[in-house]
Structure 1
Amino acid sequence: MSQRTLPTVYDPKSVEARIYEVWEQGGHFAPREGARGTFSIVMPPPNVTGVLHLGHALDTTLQDIATRFRRMQGYAALWIPGTDHAGIATQARVEQALREEEGKSRYDLGREAFVERVWAWKNQYGGTITSQIRALGASCDWSRERFTMDPGLSRAVREVFVRLYEEGLIYRGNRIINWCPRCRTALSDIEVEHVEEQGVLYHVRYPLEDGSGDLVIATTRPETMFADVAVAVHPDDPRYTAFVGKTIRLPLSHRSIPVIADAYVERDFGTGCLKITPAHDANDFEVGQRHGLPALVCLDQDGRLTDLAGPFAGLPREEARNRVVEALREQGYLVREEALDHAVGHCERCGTVVEPYLSEQWFVKMEPLAKDALARARAGELRFLPERFMKVFEQWLTNVRDWCISRQLWWGHRIPAWYCASCGQISVSRDDLDHCLHCGSADIQQDEDVLDTWFSSALWPFSTMGWPESTSDLARFYPTTLLVTGYDILFFWVARMVFMGVHFTGQMPFESVLLHGLLRDAKGQKMSKSKGNGIDPLDVIDRYGADALRFMLASNTVPGNDLRFTMEKVEGARNFLNKLWNAARFVLMNVEEGWTPEPLQVQALDLADRFILHRLGDTIRRVTSALEVYDVGEAARAVYEFTWDEFCDWYIEFAKINLYGDREDKKRQTQSVLLTVLSRVLMLLHPYIPFVTEEIWQALPNTTGMLIDAAWPEAEDLPQDERAVAQMRVAMDVIRAVRNVRSELQIPPKTSVPIVIACDSEGVRDVVEQVREMISRFCNAERVDIGAGIEPPKQAAVQVVTGAKIYIPLVGLIDMDAERERLKKEAGRLQAEVERLEKKLANENFVHRAPQEVVEQERAKLADYKAKLLAVEARRASLEA
């Protein structure tokens, strides 16, 4: 490929879409024959209704880095993309459009016509998020894109449902579920968002039937008292032992209920007496089951009180609470009210407060499935990154509850169960039925409900590869190698994939699970639209490009830890891209078109050449080692430090000596080193910033093919020279120290300065002597004096580096009197700041009442001012010597 010139400024808008189209159209994302075996990964399917958010951007970036790295290593890398049908969200979107555009509800259309309307909506708008994921640079194999309601995946869902039913692991029964009165459907735990709210703990007097006294219960939901069936106390609570077995008259009602003893009651919460309402609380339901208590329902599916509430029947729950509290107060039952901050579950889709609700639904028996999955995980078949999440995984599977899988929706996988009006039996089948499998009657009706979206996504790792068919993809790429997802869905999705994979394929669905943290704003708060602190990643891409966003996310990632997002960090990543671009332009401007790099002659390399090649080898090993365990943040930081500091800021400056010198052999040698380092840096960075690295790669002389297909760089052919690194470190330390003095004292770069280096150690002195010329050139030194036992010059700036002291005599360079006065004023200002902050931090009211992050910021400021004051005082002392 011929060399071409890079523009002065890198413009991601002119590069990213063009390069991505070349990659996708050229089939570069499809798995090839891999000399090192296979690497496979499935994309956590985003909602088909969704748009790209920062969580998707992080998740996708981490997956893409892993896939591109393994592809370059020589693995046959398969990354399967896809989307989730998102039952509640998609149905709500289409229902809203129906209301706004036609003034109709889904019931006006009927089920069949409504589902057709949803499919039409999905076909028209459902690809939004996948096009946005493309904009991020995801190198997934779009030819294998899946949708959870594709025919193949739908078949897998039916197969799993029927098998579990036949095995007695799916059943229909009455249990407590999460219910949204507005969406009028059961919800999974992950579809419930718990929000801290200020509530009220009502202390209510329940009188004993025999008139001997009363018990006081504490509740946040007095409107559910009409469904109370008992009052429970702890069996070991001496306050209430005598009351167990007695009966209580339920306030505002005509019923009597027993006092029971159960260890579930927390003696230290509220009054130690607990109202038991089995139909409206999951824990109360368990208590009721243990004691054989009835389950009465006092709230209907719309969140209104039932006839059980007598005069309050028909009231919506919010109004009912106020009216019930008012009645309790008037009749003398309300003892007191106590403010209480507590977490309240809300429907993730519509924001409505969720009701714990007793309902007949379909459930999966979790204990047998969890037991098998846990045994396999403990046997070492599953690895969590970080490892600490294994304990969390074990705890959840050990205490798991049965899973409600039915949803009262029309959009989704309809439950394959038919009810017979003739014999009353249920027929479950892989195929649609027109008659009862028990009595043959044609008078059957399919269940109206659909399956929980998480049911189909639990099969994702193997259903996307064609299961239950024995496909070539399933044989070649399953189990998958890696799953990347947020730690917040460890229970809801990861665990379900694990037990489904173990049960139906006999294997773990993936070898490793990389759990990343959540994205938060600069103050550490969770991002949300309601808080106004959310950031649209598409806006970031439009402003800075996908590579800048990707590198910011990846380089700030620590496995399992939350990540704070700031636009300043993105700007820093953009600056790094510009640094790389300018370095590439420098290299290309100093290499003639058509020039062929010459093999490196190790014995002829300069000190700077040996240093940079050694450090390149170290960086390749460090990056590779980190990426092998998917520590993408550590790998990013390693290549960033090498590229910015050692290659761009140091070696390129050293390279100019030979490039602009009069020795042709030295020039050719330096050109070869520059291209060697640049090309391998591009390889190391490609998984992180694929667009800009591919664009630069195409401009390099004599490169063939595309960077996405290039082999991962090796370090074995690079010379290793620890001595050269040590010598260069000395030279760099000295140069940096002198430049710092120049900057602080505002000595013009063109003004030459005398440098005196005192080295008492002969070894250090020998090293400094070898880099004397380099120091002189890059410090614009008038002269460089090196020796042992040197008398410190008077009125000189001093800098200390390892093994040496550097003196720069200042007489004649600056106005000494003016500098002394300036330092005196600066010392006074800094001392005032130190005293102000010390006084502030000594104030206990401030330390204990101010937000912790504010206190820490003030402490950091104090430490910074103290350090600056010490430096100024040292400089003043040097001028008085």
Structure 2
Amino acid sequence: MEFKPKLELKRWDFKIEDQVRSWWEKEDWWKFDPNSPKPKFVIDTPPPYPAPLWHIGAAVSYAMHDMIARAMRMMGYEVLYPIGFDRNGLPIELYVEKYLGLTPWKTDREKFLETCRQVLDSWVEKMKETLKRLLIAADIDNPYQTDSPDYRAFTQATFIEAWKKGLVYEAERPNNWCPKCRTTIADAEVEYKEMKGIMAYIKFKVKDSDEELVIATTRPELLCACRAVVVHPDDERYKKYHGKKVIVPIYGHEIPVLPHKMADPNFGTGAMMVCSFGDWRDVQIFRELGLTPVKAIDEEGKMTECAGPIAGLKVKEAKMKIVELLKEQGYLVKVEDIVHKVPVHERCETPIEIIPMKEYYLKQLEFKDVLKKYAEEMKWQPERYKKNLLQWIDSVSTDWPISRRRFYATEIPVWTCKRCGYKYVPPPGRYYRPWKEDPPIDKCPKCGAREWEGEKRVFDTWMDSSVTVLYITKYMRDEEFWKKTFLEGVKLRPQGYDIIRTWLYYSLLRVHQLTGKRAFDLVFINGMGLDPKGKKMSKRYGNVIMPEEILNKYGADATRFWIALEVKPGENYRVIENKIQGAQKFLTKFLNVARYVSSFPYPEGRVELREADKWILAELAELIEKVRKAYAEMDFHTVAEEFYHFVWDKFSSHYIELSKKRARMMDERFDEEDAKAAWWTLHTVLKNLLLILAPISPAISDYLWRRLYSSESVHAQRLPEAPEEWRDEATLEKGRAIMELNSKVWKAKKEVLGKKLSDPVTVEELKSAGVELPELGGFEEDFMALHNVVRG
């Protein structure tokens, strides 16, 4: 009998991935059916922000989310897996300003917005193609976009609902302010960066005395706003000054010396300048002591008129100038160069200032306890990231400022009556642009006036992003769909650990405020992609690895298998190309295993299995049990690792070798019935391996499945479950002992006896080489045939 492979390919050609993807585009197994009787699984897929450069780390996270979607479909769920793009906010504005030269405050607003939109459109098209090349099984051509009129109308509708519930208010209070972006930012958008600075030691004259207090400060430019000096109550050096007054150098106003526990005796000289809006500690002390603040820095980051000789200067210039003046006038003791942590805006890394501004706020303090309860109730992968959310919730100390003084974002749907100041908030249902259009009301319901001031401010982009799960489940738009997906489905949030305090936190807050429900049941956290040296990828460092570079060399299946094998949930990982190349070689190895198996027919009916067949099925049963558990826990690393070792170390290296002569009937000890048992086992194992591999490397698994077993996609099948009769611990032990014996025989023939592995060898020769053959039981004929062992 001639055994010719049904598969002709000897090396996996990733160009076939395009062909396989075209099959999927014509099929419906991946499309969400809300009327399906299957339980629903909702993935609140992170909508990426479009960018001209999209590095490999982003591609890795979306490939992992697709693995989740595919695995859950094969585990019996109807999966809602949408693709979206988060297009609102500062990044596009900063790009247009820097590279296209359009300053938002000096450009016609409509023209500026249209330019932003066009640039985003071009970026989105490139990103769509990358997602397709990653073999993402979703409706990539019809994504939702957070800057679409439909989405913005939805964001506005959720704001209107919060307004009606009394959760929104307007107030003037100190806020984090980015002088470069000219907007208020929330605490969650502030990062701390180590920067070079100075520590100036300044002499303050004690009133009615010849004494001087020396105060160390990193912000001498705020002397004009200094309204008190505080010292720690227990600091013996300064107890005699409690209640006395000192005179502020250059400006000459008198301020009190007060004891306060927030003064650090170990910082500088232990005496601390309290300046209005110097930092949040200053703000707190001002409130506690009832001091009257002054505004020393304006919205452009320049010193105001109250700064006297340094008025009009940028903060950095003002700092140097005031030090120069202090030195000239004899107030400066010394200046030290220091490195300290400075609060910066995460978007542009500009040091922030604290400036009092009138903004809209969303209440959040009263919801901290329920959000902590939700954090505990959700299942985390990995569990340790739960503490990140809990720590952030504990740190929240003010309500969320949700208004921004920018342009490319969802407008706040509010009009203010010019006569009486009444705030008109319209009914939900359409997209409102108050800066451009009149309100849908004839006259003010409070005073009857007809002149309105349309709101020019926009929402913080997290106001849009925080309701993605409600948008995709059609909250307020399709009650039946929302019931089946949000209320009855399992809801997953996959995301990076760096936005736990923003996207995850704000989503939990907003969904609870709007629905009274917990937003998610599961949270999957992915790590960050680093370059081969372990450094964060950044355009600034020139070390960004583009996904196209990898896909053009190795294809998506190999890239995805590398992702699963190397990237553990929640862990940072290095992108090392030779490991991706190794994944590609493994898939070629697997292809050749499939090619070998395709040489044999797949017997129908009952076959009489040999001991080796029973052993590999017992190994397969153990593999299936492990990977089903790992898939349920979204642990693809374990799946890939177990799959790799099974294929390489057990199936290919041992079972195929043990059964090869039997399968090919190359030994007189075996007849066709013996061969059929091997054929059936080979195909049964391969079929199950294709099902296991499908969520990770979807193209090669589907291609092989359709060529060998079915015209229906492998992705329309269920993950395998091992029959009970395959589970046999005793057979497992015997088979693993045979694996060890195989290795000993191969080593003895090659290294001790100087034979080829195919050469005949006697029992006595093996014994002389240190290999004593035990009782082989049901493995004997396969073992003796494999090693060409002859007796006598």
**TM, length-normalised to structure 1:** 0.81
Asked whether the 8 Å contact 2:662–2:782 carries over to 1, the reply is no
For 1:496, the equivalent position in structure 2 comes to 506
Matches within 5 A, 1:347-746: 347-378=345-376, 380=377, 382-400=378-396, 401-430=398-427, 433=439, 435-479=443-487, 480-588=490-598, 590-591=599-600, 595-599=601-605, 601=607, 604-662=608-666, 663-700=671-708, 702-716=709-723, 719-740=726-747
Over 3 Å counting, the alpha-carbon distance change for 1:547 and 1:216 in structure 2 is farther
Q: Distance in 1 between matches of 2:8 and 2:292?
A: 78
Over 3 Å counting, the alpha-carbon distance change for 1:325 and 1:46 in structure 2 is same
Q: Distance in 1 between matches of 2:144 and 2:541?
A: 34
Cα drift, residue 169 of structure 1: 2.5
The SS at the match of 2:350 is coil
The SS at the match of 2:622 is helix
The SS at the match of 2:71 is helix
Equivalent in 78, 84, 88 of residue 80 of structure 2? 78
Asked whether the 8 Å contact 1:225–1:277 carries over to 2, the reply is yes
Cα drift, residue 236 of structure 1: 3.3
Letter in 2 for 1:631: D
Cα drift, residue 612 of structure 1: 0.9
The SS at the match of 1:341 is strand
Cα drift, residue 757 of structure 1: 8.2
Asked whether the 8 Å contact 2:375–2:389 carries over to 1, the reply is no
- Alpha-carbon RMSD across the aligned residues, in angstroms, is 2.9
Letter in 2 for 1:614: A
Letter in 2 for 1:498: L
Asked whether the 8 Å contact 1:422–1:441 carries over to 2, the reply is yes
Over 3 Å counting, the alpha-carbon distance change for 1:442 and 1:635 in structure 2 is same
Q: Distance in 2 between matches of 1:121 and 1:440?
A: 44
Asked whether the 8 Å contact 2:87–2:147 carries over to 1, the reply is yes
Q: Distance in 2 between matches of 1:746 and 1:296?
A: 92
Over 3 Å counting, the alpha-carbon distance change for 1:559 and 1:9 in structure 2 is closer
Q: Distance in 1 between matches of 2:770 and 2:719?
A: 43
Letter in 1 for 2:557: D
Matches within 5 A, 1:289-328: 289-328=287-326
Q: Give a deviation string over 1:327-359, Cα, whole Å, max 9, x none.
A: 333333333344433333444444433334333
The SS at the match of 1:217 is strand
Cα drift, residue 392 of structure 1: 3.0
Q: Give a deviation string over 1:6-25, Cα, whole Å, max 9, x none.
A: 4222111x222232232133
Letter in 2 for 1:730: A
Q: Distance in 2 between matches of 1:648 and 1:533?
A: 39
The SS at the match of 1:545 is helix
Q: Distance in 1 between matches of 2:138 and 2:479?
A: 20
The SS at the match of 1:260 is strand
Q: Distance in 2 between matches of 1:256 and 1:139?
A: 70
Over 3 Å counting, the alpha-carbon distance change for 1:674 and 1:408 in structure 2 is same
Letter in 2 for 1:678: L
For 1:8, the equivalent position in structure 2 comes to 10
Is the counterpart of residue 756 in structure 1 residue 767 in structure 2?
yes
Q: Give a deviation string over 1:552-600, Cα, whole Å, max 9, x none.
A: 2222233333223322321222222111111111212x12xxx443245
Q: Distance in 1 between matches of 2:447 and 2:623?
A: 73
Q: Distance in 2 between matches of 1:770 and 1:244?
A: 94
Equivalent in 130, 133, 137 of residue 132 of structure 1? 130
Gaps of 5+ in 1: 785-881
Q: Distance in 2 between matches of 1:741 and 1:317?
A: 78
The SS at the match of 2:726 is coil
Is the counterpart of residue 22 in structure 1 residue 23 in structure 2?
yes
Is the counterpart of residue 158 in structure 1 residue 156 in structure 2?
yes
Gaps of 5+ in 2: 433-438
Is the counterpart of residue 177 in structure 1 residue 175 in structure 2?
yes
Asked whether the 8 Å contact 1:734–1:775 carries over to 2, the reply is no
Cα drift, residue 424 of structure 1: 3.0
Letter in 1 for 2:379: R
The SS at the match of 1:229 is strand
The SS at the match of 2:416 is strand
Q: Distance in 2 between matches of 1:742 and 1:402?
A: 76
Cα drift, residue 535 of structure 1: 1.8
Q: Give a deviation string over 1:735-788, Cα, whole Å, max 9, x none.
A: 22344466667945366662228999xxx975457656655555566879xxxx
Q: Distance in 2 between matches of 1:636 and 1:443?
A: 66
Over 3 Å counting, the alpha-carbon distance change for 1:223 and 1:300 in structure 2 is same
Q: Give a deviation string over 1:353-394, Cα, whole Å, max 9, x none.
A: 33343332222221123333334445x3x2223333333322
For 2:436, the equivalent position in structure 1 comes to none
Q: Distance in 2 between matches of 1:669 and 1:769?
A: 17
Asked whether the 8 Å contact 1:616–1:677 carries over to 2, the reply is yes
Q: Distance in 1 between matches of 2:130 and 2:387?
A: 36
Asked whether the 8 Å contact 1:749–1:780 carries over to 2, the reply is no
For 2:270, the equivalent position in structure 1 comes to 272
Over 3 Å counting, the alpha-carbon distance change for 1:343 and 1:521 in structure 2 is farther
**TM, length-normalised to structure 2:** 0.90
For 1:233, the equivalent position in structure 2 comes to 231
Q: Distance in 1 between matches of 2:215 and 2:780?
A: 85
Letter in 1 for 2:232: H
Over 3 Å counting, the alpha-carbon distance change for 1:266 and 1:566 in structure 2 is farther
Q: Distance in 2 between matches of 1:757 and 1:442?
A: 107
Over 3 Å counting, the alpha-carbon distance change for 1:730 and 1:531 in structure 2 is same
Letter in 2 for 1:670: A
Asked whether the 8 Å contact 1:48–1:86 carries over to 2, the reply is no
Seq. identity, %: 30
Q: Give a deviation string over 1:126-151, Cα, whole Å, max 9, x none.
A: 33323322221222344773212333
Asked whether the 8 Å contact 1:385–1:560 carries over to 2, the reply is yes
Asked whether the 8 Å contact 1:278–1:284 carries over to 2, the reply is yes
Asked whether the 8 Å contact 2:52–2:123 carries over to 1, the reply is no
Cα drift, residue 416 of structure 1: 1.6
The SS at the match of 2:360 is strand
Matches within 5 A, 1:802-881: none
Cα drift, residue 257 of structure 1: 2.2
The SS at the match of 1:482 is strand
Higher relative contact order (CA 8 A, sep 6+): 2
Over 3 Å counting, the alpha-carbon distance change for 1:324 and 1:616 in structure 2 is same
Q: Distance in 2 between matches of 1:699 and 1:133?
A: 26
Letter in 2 for 1:17: D
The SS at the match of 1:358 is strand
Q: Distance in 2 between matches of 1:682 and 1:282?
A: 58
Q: Distance in 2 between matches of 1:287 and 1:173?
A: 20
Q: Distance in 1 between matches of 2:520 and 2:406?
A: 31
Letter in 2 for 1:438: K
Asked whether the 8 Å contact 2:612–2:779 carries over to 1, the reply is no
Over 3 Å counting, the alpha-carbon distance change for 1:270 and 1:155 in structure 2 is same
Cα drift, residue 412 of structure 1: 0.9
Instruction: Give the stretch that moved more between structures: 308-317 or 136-145.
Output: 136-145
Asked whether the 8 Å contact 2:264–2:270 carries over to 1, the reply is yes
The SS at the match of 1:490 is helix
Cα drift, residue 96 of structure 1: 4.4
Q: Distance in 1 between matches of 2:190 and 2:319?
A: 22
Cα drift, residue 194 of structure 1: 3.6
Q: Distance in 1 between matches of 2:313 and 2:637?
A: 55
Q: Distance in 1 between matches of 2:420 and 2:319?
A: 44
